[in-house]
């Protein structure tokens, strides 16, 4: 076995949604995660209900809840992420931003924050203006976390596109766009991790085998 292990399925974590049971943002994220699965990834979704269970991140308080640890550990082991937020008053929603702020706990990791991870970005909004501006804003946040935004990001105008159930979308073009986001995140993870050598390894030593991804249920 060489350092080029193309057989391991990368783990793609989805973070996003709103508190609404029929969240179009979470449903859009589901389409993107299925795109990642089709490209060879395992996936795990942290949707609106889970994000709502996270306390407001308080850096000065050393106590963390089980849910905070669950998110932190999942992202720590992730090979790529997909983040989906609604545009709320011209910005990323507080619910999603709080989850991203919680990733401050990864600052001292060997791979700090989202280092070395592709991050697909999805925004829903009631109009094209917020869809575009919030997508730019979300990508800036990903850059701050040292992640690699995928070349294609999806901005969805939910005045025009409906997600009536978890697996139906009124616009086939949007379905393709969301699948592309997931596919690009998974493909980057496959390519990047095949060449990644942990910094802890002495220089010149090839990694014998990539770290196995935790087996997690797919959405």
Ligand X SMILES: Cc1cc2nc3c(=O)[nH]c(=O)nc-3n(C[C@H](O)[C@H](O)[C@H](O)COP(=O)(O)O)c2cc1C
Which residues in this chain contact ligand X in the complex, by CB under 6 A? 18, 20, 23-25, 86-90, 124-127, 130, 158
Contacts of 102 (CB under 8 A, 6+ apart): 54, 57, 68, 71, 72
Cβ atoms within 10 Å, residue 85: 30
Q: Residue 166 CB, nearest distance to ligand X (Å)?
A: 12
Burial 164-183 (b: 16+ CB within 10 A, else e): eeeeebeeeebbebbbbbbb
59/127 with CB nearer ligand X: 127
Which 8-state DSSP code applies to residue 55? P
Quote the least distance from Cβ 36 to ligand X, whole Å: 20
Q: Which is nearer to ligand X, 173 or 195 (CB)?
A: 173
The residues with which 168 forms a beta bridge, in sequence order, are 165
Task: Identify which of residues 39 and 130 has a Cβ nearer to ligand X in the complex.
Answer: 130
Q: Cα(61)–Cα(101) distance, rounded to whole angstroms?
A: 14
Q: In whole angstroms, give the CA distance from residue 124 to residue 84.
A: 8
Shortest Å, Cβ 160 to ligand X: 11
* Minimum gap (Å) between residue 182 Cβ and ligand X: 18
Name the minimum Å distance from CB 2 to ligand X. Answer: 44
Output 26 or 105, the one with its CB closest to ligand X: 26
CA neighbor of 101 nearest in space, from 44, 58, 160, 60: 58
Residue closer to ligand X by CB (options 113, 163) is: 163
């Amino acid at each position: 076995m060489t350092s080029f292990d193309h057989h391991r399925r990368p783990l793609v974590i989805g973070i996003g949604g709103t508190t609404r049971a029929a969240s179009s943002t979470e449903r859009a994220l589901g389409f993107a995660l299925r795109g990642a699965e089709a490209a060879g990834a395992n996936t795990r979704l942290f949707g609106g209900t889970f994000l709502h269970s996270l306390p407001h991140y308080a850096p000065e308080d050393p106590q963390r809840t089980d849910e905070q640890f669950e998110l932190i550990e999942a992202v720590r082991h992730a090979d790529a992420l997909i983040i989906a937020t609604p545009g709320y008053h011209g910005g990323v929603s507080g619910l999603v931003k709080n989850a991203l702020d919680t990733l401050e706990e990864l600052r001292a990791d060997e791979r700090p924050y989202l280092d070395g991870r592709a991050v697909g970005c999805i925004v829903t909004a009631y109009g094209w203006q917020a869809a575009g501006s919030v997508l730019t804003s979300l990508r800036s946040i990903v850059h701050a976390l040292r992640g690699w935004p995928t070349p294609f990001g999806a901005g969805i105008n939910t005045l025009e596109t409906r997600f009536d159930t978890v697996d139906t979308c009124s616009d086939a073009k949007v379905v393709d766009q969301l699948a592309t986001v997931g596919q690009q995140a998974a493909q980057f993870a496959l390519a990047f991790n095949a060449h990644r050598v942990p910094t802890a390894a002495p220089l010149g030593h090839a990694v014998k085998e990539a770290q196995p991804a935790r087996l997690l249920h797919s959405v």
